[in-house]
Amino acid sequence: MYGALWRAFPGPWPVKLLFMLVVIAAVLAACVLWLFPWIDQTFLTPQDVTVGLEALTRN
């Protein structure tokens, strides 16, 4: 996959390297800004936790 991306980018290897770094940074930014928050809200909703409630109500 990375080889196909490398061949698809135009220019000499320094330009290809710059393009590759920009693409990697864009993918990581998209994951952090949109994908991971969506996964958190959709699949990782907190459950009703009852562990430790006795310690809080003993006062």
C-alpha 28/C-alpha 41 separation (Å) is 19
Query: 24 or 2: whose pLDDT is higher?
Result: 24
Q: What pLDDT is attached to residue 53?
A: 59
**10-55 per-position pLDDT tens digit:** 999 999 999 999 999 999 999 999 999 998 888 876 766 666 656 5
Q: What pLDDT is attached to residue 40?
A: 85
pLDDT band at 2 (very low <50, low <70, confident <90, very high): confident
The ranges assigned to domains in the chain are 2-57
Question: Has residue 59 got a pLDDT over 60?
Answer: no
